[in-house]
A and B are shown apart, each in its own frame.
Chain A
Amino acid sequence: MGSQSPFFCLKQKLIFIVGKGGVGRSSLCTAAAAHFSEKGEKVLVVQWSLVDSISQIFQMSAVSHKAKEVLHTSSLSHKKWSFFNMNFEVDEAIREYFVDHLKLKLIYSLVIQNKHVQKLLNAAPGISELFFLGRLFWLVELAEKECGFSYDRIIVDTPATGHGISLFGVAQAVAKIGITGPLALECARVSSLLTNPEKTAVLLVTLPEELPIEETMESIPTIHKKLGFKPTGVIVNMSVRENIFPCLSSQESLSASFFSDSPVKNQLKMVLSSLFKRNIFEKKLQEYLLSVNIPHYSIPDFNLLEKDINPKKVIEFMVDFFHRDYLA
């Protein structure tokens, strides 16, 4: 087992952090951005969501398609963080593609902006996803040439919808509907970026609970098939593994003096057993990951470290956790 930080020695410029709602995906994206920013990199986090949950953490107003800088000084390390944050909007991305990139202003205003065409674009499979990936391609490969500025690292807060990870299969989906012309070219170059493990990393986030673990294990072959490479790693958030919390290594350890005669002793044991249960699920995942040779990382449940915790503190703890490892 190598490093305990999933971002240690990560070379890829484009990092997809993939997971279902509620697993801490946005927190992890924010911590990753802060981590790379501490190392002096220019970082952008790309969200694609109804609500911008990253600005909320820092009590900032919500961002839109235009990136805004997040500035924060960690109360743990006293280090300054500075990174950019945006929330993708498909209409704006389509405009950027046709007007700024292809310089097809006329086609854009006559054809694309027609309200019936808008409906078709909305209904056609994979179109919004294609423009999302197209924008990421632009940020990774073209931004420097076209506007003289680029980021060192692009972290994508990727929602996992449905069974598969629909975003990664988009090139195939669009190819199937028989597209040719500029859109087909766009598809081809997006595909070549996505399927290049030198440039693209995919990190899955999950919780040590039954359903999230099951779903993560099921999604791994799907992603492998769609991208042609295995996920770069799987991160278990809110972990209570023994190597992080040695006191949780055996179930009978609720010490004798601890509420020995209390009527709530049994209830406390029940709470404790729910914590142990997380380890059962994480072990199941760990065994699977070993068998398919994918690195497994655990991020502690910081609620077990301190009594008074909030979303901002969780990020600070996470970054500190990655950093401690970096020193070791």
Chain B
Amino acid sequence: MSNVNKFPQLHIFLGAGGVGKTTLSAAYALALAQEGNKVGLLSIDPAKRLQSALQTELSDEGARIKLPDDKGFLLASMLQMDHALRRWVQEQNLSEVKKQRLFENPYFQALSDKLASSVDTLAAIRIAEWVEQYPDLDHLVIDTAPGIHAVDFITKPEKLSLFLDSKLVDWLKSSTEDSQPKKRSFFNQLLKSGARKILDGLSVIGGQNFIVNFGDFLILLDDILIQAMKRLNYSRQWIFHESTKIILVCSVRDDASHVARQLAQVLSKFALTPDLSIINKVLPDEIIQSKELDFLLATSYEKNSLEDVLSNYISSYARTQAKVLCDLQMFSKNVIKIPNSENLDKDYVLRIDDLISLGQKIKSLQKVKKT
């Protein structure tokens, strides 16, 4: 593993789905790079519009983004489980025959599907992998899967080891181990009592193939999972490091604020607190603090007129916004608001300059708060 002193500073973006994590994390990474830093970005499921703003099609490998000026640089990638899993198989010294057998094992495809929904674990492994690949990064910005499961890699590292440490796994391996036939029969004898009965019971319910395939898969995958565990543990240590910044993102939605609160609660159990909370897509303060808003809300307009619709909308938006702000301030000292207009470029096309200025806005608001 790489030199501990040279680990990049991590910036982890967390929050509910649809609050703008991917856009904000990309913007933040761009702003860091514009300041002359070497920055990496791990993105999850970026919208096509964001990818076209970055003028590149993101993949599992890092792609260098063209910046308006080239003081620093940004390497951006998108998490893709199937690609990552294949790469981890390729990097092991398995024979071609074994590799092929693994790729063809039904569980292998299933594992990549299953892990595809736990992007959290993948992201954590990728952090370590990036540091191996690009040891001189200054910052690594990480977008995470939506919802509270995004922190599973912090709170439930056993998710991956579950595949490794089960006793049943040993039984299965021993009943399908092909390289050591003698050992196998020896094991089978040992297994004649309880374990044998359980395996027999399982084959009554699901058939023999089900067990053989699974056992074979586990043997082939052993080294790969061990390597993945090593990386996971290495990353975990950095996630808990004092330099790491956790950024909670929320939008003006009750459910998003609920998710943010749950995330903060889970993190606090591990003595982690959000360094920054962002409420995205807020109504600008000019409206919230204006006398006109009070007037707008107090007046009755003709039903379904534009004025009526707009005042109802702003009224409920302002109310939710106040509630979200209040919720976030309960667990975060540093709450900033990003107005709607910042995300909403007037044209339909999102440009890299818009993203950079959005990132700079986050950074400047963050600084104001700190002083």
Listed in ascending order, the chain A residues whose CB lies under 8 Å from chain B are 20-22, 50, 107, 110-111, 114, 116-117, 119-120, 122-126, 161-164, 166, 173, 176-184, 207, 209-212, 214, 245-248, 253-255, 258-259, 262-264, 267-268, 270-275, 277, 280, 301, 303-307, 309, 311
Contact = CB atoms under 8 A, between A and B. Distances in A.
B25 to A, nearest CB: 14
Contacts of A303: 312-313, 316-317
Contacts of B205: 107, 111, 181-183
Contact of B292 (A126, A245, A264): A264
B344 A173 contact: no
A163 B210 CA distance: 26
A210 B47 contact: yes
Nearest to B301: A258
Provide the main secondary structure of the chain B interface.
Answer: helix
Contacts of B117: 161-162, 166
Given A180-B207, A271-B313, A303-B313, A263 B16 contact: no
Contact of B163 (A123, A255, A306): A123
23 contacts: A21-B18, A22-B18, A22-B253, A22-B255, A110-B198, A116-B171, A116-B198, A161-B117, A166-B113, A177-B210, A180-B206, A181-B207, A245-B304, A245-B309, A253-B306, A254-B310, A264-B290, A267-B283, A280-B348, A303-B312, A304-B312, A309-B316, A311-B254
B106 A177 contact: yes
Interface centre among A114, A117, A164, A211 (most CB of B within 10 A): A211
A139 B5 CA distance: 59
A263 B290 contact: yes
Interface in B293-307: 293, 296-297, 304-307
Interface string B135-170: 000000000001110000000000000110011100
A43 B168 CA distance: 41
B49 interface: yes
B83 interface: no
B315 interface: yes
A123 B256 CA distance: 30
B203 to A, nearest CB: 8
A201 to B, nearest CB: 25
Interface residues of B, number: 72
Nearest to B163: A123
Contacts of B340: 270-271, 274
Interface centre among B205, B255, B293 (most CB of A within 10 A): B205
Nearest to A106: B201
Given A264-B290, A270-B340, A270-B344, A110 B110 contact: no
Contacts of B368: none
B284 A126 contact: no
Nearest to B168: A116
B204 to A, nearest CB: 6
A176 B306 contact: no
A28 B2 CA distance: 51
Interface in B216-272: 253-256
Contacts of B341: 267, 270
B109 A176 contact: yes
A48 B371 CA distance: 46
Contacts of B206: 179-181, 183-184
B149 to A, nearest CB: 9
Given A173-B110, A267-B286, A110 B201 contact: yes
B107 to A, nearest CB: 6
Contact of A274 (B286, B315, B344): B344
A276 to B, nearest CB: 11
A311 to B, nearest CB: 8
Contacts of A263: 286, 290
A304 B202 contact: no
Given A212-B18, A303-B312, A258 B307 contact: yes
A90 B100 CA distance: 34
Interface in B38-70: 47-49
Nearest to B297: A307
